[in-house]
Structure 1
Amino acid sequence: MDKPGDNRILHLMTQTSDILIVGGGLNGPVLALALAQTGHSVTVVDALPQDTRAAANFDGRGYALALASQRMLAQIGLWNALAEHAQPMNEIKVTDGQVGQGPSPFFLHFDHSEIETGPMGYMVEDRYLRRALLSALEKNENITVLNERRVVAQTTSLDHVEVTLDTGDTLQARLLIGADGRRSGTAQRAGIKRTGWDYNQTALVCAIEHELPHQGIAHQFFMPAGPLAILPLTGNRASIVWSEHSQTAQDIQALDDAGYLNALRPRFGDFLGDIKLAGDRFTYPLGLTVANSFVAQRIALVGDAAHGMHPIAGQGLNAGLRDVAALAEVVTEATRRGEDLGSPLVLDRYQQWRRFDTATLVAATDVFNKLFSNNNPLLRLGRDLGMGLVNAMPGVRRNFMREAAGLTGDLPKLLRGQEI
C-alpha cells in the first residue's frame, strides 16, 4: 500500500486478486473491509492521493448515518475509532414554512425513545470517517490500495476481468466493483446506461457554530425552493445541507462569509442563538440518476455509481451502505458454496436484492422533493395536514422512525449487526 506522502510509482505488471474495487471514497473502502473480513483478497484503486483522503482539518462535511449503518460499521471494526467523534441523533423534527415566516404549526416529531433501539442515527464528520477507513485498510493484509491511479480500460472474459491503469500496468480479478460515483467510468466502460434528470436545485453545504445546545435534535425545514437540513454535530455545531434553485445557490455561494450568513439566518431562524461559519463551504448540483442495470459481465455497481438521489431524506450514503452489505453477503455466501463469485447467477442475486428497494427509495425522494419544493397553497395545506395527521398516529409515526433508522425491509446481516 502507498504510505502518506509516498509518491513512488509502483510497477505492478499484472496483479491478481479475488475482487477489484474502483473508487476510494466511502462505499469502496467499506466494501473492501467487509469482503476482506470474510477472507477475500481485495485491491482498491483510488484516483486521489492518500494524504488528501487523510487530511485532519475540519472542512465542514458530515454524514448522517442511520442506526443500521452504524451497526454495520461496528461489525467491520470501524466504530471504536468513530464513537467518541459521533453525535447521536435522538430526535428529528420535520416542519414546513417560508423564509422569514417560521415553521407551520403542523409538524412531524420523531423521538428515539419510542422505538427502543437507541438513537435513530449518528452524525459523523467526514475527516474522522475517512481516517478510520484509511487506518483499517492499511492494517488489513487482505487489502491492497493503489493511490493516485486511474483505470483507463477494462475487459471481461468468462473467468476474469482485467483493467489497465494509467501507468500501463494491469490488474486482474474475478469480480470488478464500480464504486466510482455518479459518473462511473466502470459503468460507462461496461456499456451501462443511466436514467435521470436535473432538479435545477443546488445544495449549499457548510457547518456552523451556534450559541445554544442542539440537544441531539436534527431538523428538516421544507421551504418552496428546497429543504434545509440542520444536523447536529458534536459540541455546539451543526452540519447544514441547504437546497436552493441553482442560480440562487450560485449567487449565495459567491458572497463573502458575512453575506452568506445573512442569507442563511432568515431561513435558519434564531432557535439556536447566533450562528457563525465553521469550516469550508461547498455546493453540489442536485439530480436523480439511476443505472439501468446494477450488474454486467463480472461487474457490479454500488453507491452513487448505481444510484444518486436527492438528499431530502439523508439516505444517499445509507443506501450505498445497503448495497455494500448486500453485495458482501451475496459474494461471501457464493464463495462458501464453491460458486464463481463473478458469475451471472451470483450477481443477479445482488441486483434482485437491491433493485426494488433502491427504486422505491429513489421514487420516494423524487416525489417528496416535488411535493415540498413549491409554494402551491393547496399542496402546502395538504402536506401540512398530512404531517399533522401522521404525527398524531403513534403506530404510523413509529414506522417512519424505523424507516429513518434503516431498520425496515430485507436487511443484510451486516446492517443487523451480525457477521456474514
Structure 2
Amino acid sequence: MSTSAHTRQKTSKTVNADILVIGGGLAGGTLSLALAQHGFAVATVDKEDMAGWTDQGFDGRASAIALSSQRVLEGVGLWDVIKDETAPIHDIRVADGASPLFLHYDHEELGDEPFGYMVENRSIRKGLNVLVPKTEGLTYFAPNEVVGLQRGKDGVHATLKDGTVIHADLVVACEGRGSPTRDAAGIKLTKWDYKQAGIVCTVEHERPHDFCAQEHFLPSGPFAILPLPGTKDKPACRSSIVWTERADLWPIMMELDDDDFKEELELRFGDFLGEIEVVGPRFAYPLSLQYAETYIAERLALVADSAHGMHPIAGQGLNMGLRDVAALAEVLVEARRLGQDIGSLAVLEKYERWRRFDNDLMLGVTDALVRLFSNDIEPIKLARDLGMAAVNQLPDMKRFFMRHAMGTVGELPRLMRGEAL
C-alpha cells in the first residue's frame, strides 16, 4: 500500500473498491481488516489521523471484550498485537448497594477460558495502526472525510474532502452514534436520554483485583470496577472505573478538585482493594439509548453504534458492534462465493435479519436493567436482591447467564466461534 493512502492527498484521484467503509475506529477498523483479508478491495475513510492514535489521545474508555468478541479480534490478527495490554476477567461479582445478597460468576464453573478481557480502547486503536498499513487490499484515507455520497443501482460514488473519488459496490457506515451517512439516507432514529452520565477514570489500588469485575448498583446507577493490566511490579493493581451519576450531579463531580473527587470515589469504591489513587484524567459521557429503524438502505449497511447504542450497564456496546462486524463479513463473503451483488438488498437483508433481533433484545435488556436498578425504592430493591440470590443458587440458570456473559449464546457468526469464514 502506498504511503499516500495514509496521508492527506495533495491531488485528486479515483479509487475503485468493492466496499467503502466510513469510519475506521474499533468496529470499522476491524471490519475493514476482515473484509480485506478475505479478498475484498476495501477503501476506509476516517476523520482521525492514524498517527494520533497514541497515549496522548487517551479518552479514558476501556471495553469489556467477551470471549466471543476476543475470537473476532484474534481472527483478524489484532489479538496478537494487543494481548499483552489486556487483562482476563475470571470472576464477575454483582452487588446491590450494601445488600448482603449478591451474584457471583466464576469462569472455572464453565471451563478454563475467561469470561472475556478488559482492554483500553486506545490499545485496539494502536493495534489497528500496526495492521492497517500492511494489509493487502485495504486503502486507508486519514485524516479525511466523505463530503459527497451518491448511492444507486450502478453502485456507490463518494467524494472525499481532499478531492479523491471512490467507486464501490457497497458503503458501510461505522461512524458512531451521530452517523451522518445514516442521517443523509433518511433512516429514522429512536432515542431517549437516561439523564445520566458515565464518569470514567483509571485507579491504582493497594491490593490486586484478582481479575474480578465488580458492579455495584447504587441509587444513581451502576458503579463498575473493571480489572486492567497493571505495571510490571504490580501486575493486577489497576482498574477502570465507570461511575454512573445523575444528570444534576455529574457536572458537580467533574468540577471537584482531585482530593474531593477521590473522596467521593472512595465512598462508592470501598476499601476492599486498600488505598486507591486516581491516575490520569477523568472523563464524562452522557448516556442514552438509540436505535435505527432499519440497518440497511440502497447499497448501504449500518454497523455498531451507527445502528444502535446502549447503556453501558452490561458492558455490551462494543461486543454487539463486533457481532455486527462478524455477521456482515460472513454474509458478504458468502454472497461473493455465490456470485451475488454484495450491495443488493437481497444480500443486505440477510445481515439485517441476523442482527436485528439480537440487538433489539440486548437494547431491551439493558434498558430494563437501568430502570430496575437505578432507584432505591424498597420493594423493588428487595425483589431484585432476592432475584440475584436465587440465580446464584440455581446452577443451570446461572451457567446460562455465565455463557451469555461470554457472548457464546445465540446464532454466532463463524468468527465468533473461532472459525474461518
Decide whether the 8 Å contact of 1:204 with 1:242 is kept in 2: yes
User: 2:70 aligns to what?
Assistant: 70
- Partner of 2:100: helix, strand, or coil? strand
- Partner of 2:175: helix, strand, or coil? coil
Q: Deviations over 1:264-287 (max 9, x none)?
A: 110110111111112221111100
Decide whether the 8 Å contact of 1:35 with 1:328 is kept in 2: yes
Correspondences of 1:261-410 after superposition (within 5 Å): 261-410=262-411
CA, structure 1 residues 297+58, in 2 after alignment: closer, same or farther (shift >3 Å)? closer
User: 2:25 aligns to what?
Assistant: 25
Deviation at 1:14, TM superposition (A): 2.1
The count of corresponding residues between Structure 1 and Structure 2 is 415
- Partner of 2:169: helix, strand, or coil? strand
State which of 137, 147, 150 in structure 2 corresponds to 1:152: 147
Deviation at 1:61, TM superposition (A): 2.7
Deviation at 1:11, TM superposition (A): 2.6
User: 2:93 aligns to what?
Assistant: 93
Deviation at 1:3, TM superposition (A): 5.8
1:259 paired to 2:260: yes
Instruction: Give the distance between the partners of 1:163 and 1:291, measured in 2 at CA.
Output: 23
TM-score normalized by the length of structure 2? 0.96
- Partner of 2:190: helix, strand, or coil? strand
Decide whether the 8 Å contact of 1:225 with 1:373 is kept in 2: yes
1:42 paired to 2:37: no
Read off the aligned partner of 1:282 and give its amino acid letter: F
Read off the aligned partner of 1:172 and give its amino acid letter: H
1:218 paired to 2:213: yes
Decide whether the 8 Å contact of 2:174 with 2:304 is kept in 1: yes
Instruction: Give the distance between the partners of 1:285 and 1:90, measured in 2 at CA.
Output: 29
Superposition RMSD on alpha carbons, in Å?
A: 1.6
Read off the aligned partner of 1:128 and give its amino acid letter: S
Read off the aligned partner of 1:175 and give its amino acid letter: L
Decide whether the 8 Å contact of 2:8 with 2:144 is kept in 1: no
Stretches of structure 2 that go unaligned for 5 or more consecutive residues are 231-236
Deviation at 1:56, TM superposition (A): 6.4
Instruction: Give the distance between the partners of 1:164 and 1:342, measured in 2 at CA.
Output: 19
Percent identity for Structure 1 against Structure 2: 48
CA, structure 1 residues 182+261, in 2 after alignment: closer, same or farther (shift >3 Å)? same
Decide whether the 8 Å contact of 2:37 with 2:136 is kept in 1: no
CA, structure 1 residues 303+174, in 2 after alignment: closer, same or farther (shift >3 Å)? same
- Partner of 2:170: helix, strand, or coil? strand
Deviation at 1:373, TM superposition (A): 0.2
Decide whether the 8 Å contact of 1:18 with 1:40 is kept in 2: yes
Read off the aligned partner of 1:38 and give its amino acid letter: H
1:51 paired to 2:14: no
1:186 paired to 2:187: no
Stretches of structure 1 that go unaligned for 5 or more consecutive residues are 98-102
- Partner of 2:222: helix, strand, or coil? strand
TM-score normalized by the length of structure 1? 0.96
- Partner of 2:239: helix, strand, or coil? strand
User: 2:190 aligns to what?
Assistant: 195
Instruction: Give the distance between the partners of 1:163 and 1:7, measured in 2 at CA.
Output: 18
